[in-house]
Structures are given as structure tokens and as C-alpha cells.
Chains A and B, each alone.
Chain A
């Protein structure tokens, strides 16, 4: 079972992201369970959403306390919420930012983390560019597909088409696709680095 935890703020489509992730997995014929960390979500308040993906029925109802992957839609949360709580060793971390992990002050935390598990992408800029408003959630899913390989970009696109339509769908697809490409490129680069350092 693969468990994803998404952190963000009310209004950034955190819950939608989890739902879409579950839809994408479902479209691949797998079982998925998405749910928010419930509360009276208000714009700006820290919000967490969860998504489990598995090949058999998911009965577990507890929140995800040991995620296999983290998607952080808002880097300002890093210093406010213990977003990394329970993150499995070598778990995936995808952050919406145009800064590096070092610039975010996470250098030490990820020092000996495999680089191909760490990834940043400025999804907000991408959504501004393609959708016209800062909604990083969907591009990040594209990025997540690339970094984790747990779901395919096609599935994300299918999910987008289930949730949205028309220009919004098209824009999100474009955003997700670009994010996917960026992250894939970055990942290949990272794997390159890792190989080299392995030889050295």
C-alpha cells in the first residue's frame, strides 16, 4: 500500500488533489482511498489531505501517519507544521517552490536522502501560466507522477477530465504535463548525479 500525504492551505485545492490522485489510481484499476484531515476548512488555514493506493480493498480508516510520499503545496508551512512527521525513510518529498531544499533550509534534513526522492517544482507559476490563477495542486500531481512513478501522467489527465472541463481542464492538463516534464528531467539529472557519486 502506498500512502501519500498532502499539505497545504485552505483554498489551494489540497483535498481536491488527494481526490484526483485517488481517481487516477482508480482509473488504473487499483483501489484508492482519499480523505481530508477534516475540520472547518477556512481559506489560509493549514490543511492536510490523504490518499492511499493499493491493489486490494482498503479498510484502514486512520489518518496517514507514516506516509510514503509528501506533497507540500505551500513551503511556508515548513516552519509552522511538522510536515515531515512519520515520513518513511527514503520517502518521496515534492515541494511547490522555485527554491532549492537548501534555500528552504532543509539541507541538513535531506542530507543523505536519495536525490531522486527529492523534488521541487514551481507549480504555482505553472498554474498561473496555464490556468490563470495560482492553483498548484494539479500541476503538482503531474510532478508527483514523474517523481514517484506510482501513477501515470495519462491517469492524472483522465482524473483532470473527470473533475474539470473546457479551458480549466485544458489548462490544468498543460500545467500537469509541463510539471511532469520538468520533474522527469530533474529526476534523470539527479539519478545521473547519484551514479557519478557512486563511482567516485
Chain B
């Protein structure tokens, strides 16, 4: 699996780095001369998980490709906060076209590089969950189906945060958004709706699909690095908590991502050609309540009459993930 066994008992592979680790065991982010692909001065909110995830992913990709990297970016927070005229935070060649066409733009970029014989230059496409799972889904599926040589990275914060926190098809059940308000008999987002795009990506049987969170940096970097080592269509879905949309404290961003993984709410795994090949095990299993309670978007579950039924429902979904992806026991068949 993704974590190389490191004979270092103090913090193992959990911290970003450590002065005592051998260089080959250090993370890209630990490097004094890391590329900071997403530079300081961007206008993301305090504690933005997407800003963090994007730098993690693109730095890793730049490292893996020796900086021979160009990117296409969907409309959304990432695009808006990173390139407000007259400044940009990006260090790599970067293009923003539209909300719904990023995968296709990347396909075009890859085609151009191929015809020009510059296949050493690699292409990444990135977008939020809205631009990926909703409006950009057609182009994404086309890119997958043609197996174009693109790594698509989705930064999933479970909603349209840029436009003021509306519901997307990646918004989790019961979560409050501006279009699924916490009112009525079944407050928040509806159960039984939405889609898990990594599974749909797997159905295209593309070479590589992976999920990750900003709480497991080394796992994330490992997956991006692995993806850049492959050709064809690749997809990485990264959970990036949004303090604004989730109603969490700015310093809790990584903690929330960690809780999502440790509760089983968000399964972290790898799949190759449609088959799950590895999962990142839960280290200290926790009930979903631990994850839900700190988020204001779930505040309605913890009012005067706590919605025990709803919480139980969410728990059952997490349990299903744990069963389905074998997040607890050792090794998978």
C-alpha cells in the first residue's frame, strides 16, 4: 500500500517530514526547495482545504515530472482564488476555460503534446466537485472513455462553495447547503441521491483511480506520483474540507479530513483497470458522530431533539464503506 514502512518510531510516516528521515523517505512538502506550485498570496479562505490539496497534488506532480507539467482548471473556488487579475498564484503553465469542459480542454492539450512529440510534458486537469461530478461530467466521461493521457484531479468539498454553498451531486446526505436547507421534516440533503464518481471512473476501467484526503499527505503524494508514472486516463478524488461550507473552524480542516477517513465516511483506496487494488486502513476507528458534530452543516442533527435516526443512517453508510472497501481488516483479496 501507499505507506512505505519507515523504521522511525517517533512519528512514523504520519507527519509531513522529520529531520531524522532519510531524504528518500521525506515527503515532497517537507522539501526546503519545494515548488509551491500554488504560490502565497492566493485569496483562498483561512484554512482552505482545496488550496492545501492543490499544492500537495500539483507539487507532487511537478516533482514526478521534473516540472514538465501543464494544467487545465475548471471554474470554481480554485480558479477564482488563484488567478484574480492582475495576479496568479500558479507556477506552472495553467489555463482556465469553462466550468464544464476542463477534461476536454486537457484532452486537447494532451493531443497537441502528442502530435508535437512532446510526450515528456504531462497534463493535469483539476476542478471542484461541481465542475467534475456535475457540469463537467460529460467531458470527464469522454476523457475516461477515450483513455486520453490526462490525470484529472477532483477536489471534493461537497458543494458549490464558490457560489455560496449550494448542493452538488457530491454533497453528502443530511448536509445543509443553501439549496438543501436544514428545515422541514427531513432537513439537509436528501438520502439516496448523489454519486461517488471514483466508482464511476472505475467503471470506465481506466488505468488508475484513487481517492485521498488532505489528512494523509504521504498517501496523497504517493498516489499522484504513481499516477504520473502511468499513461492514459487517470483520476484522483481528493477530499478537501471547506471551513466556509462545512461550518468548521479554520484550524480543523485537516482534522475533519482525518475524521472522514477514520469514521469510514470517506473510503481511501486505489483501483487499477476497474479493480480495487489497495486501501488505506482505518487506524483508529471512530463513530460518525465524531465527524458530524463539529460541522455546522450537520448542526440540525444535534439540536434539542438529536436526530438519532439520521445519525444512525449516516453510520450505516460508513459501515457499508468499511465492509465494501475492507477498511478494517488486513489485506484485501
Q: Do chains A and B touch in the complex (CB under 8 A)?
A: no
Report B's interface with A, CB cutoff 8 A.
none
Report A's interface with B, CB cutoff 8 A.
none
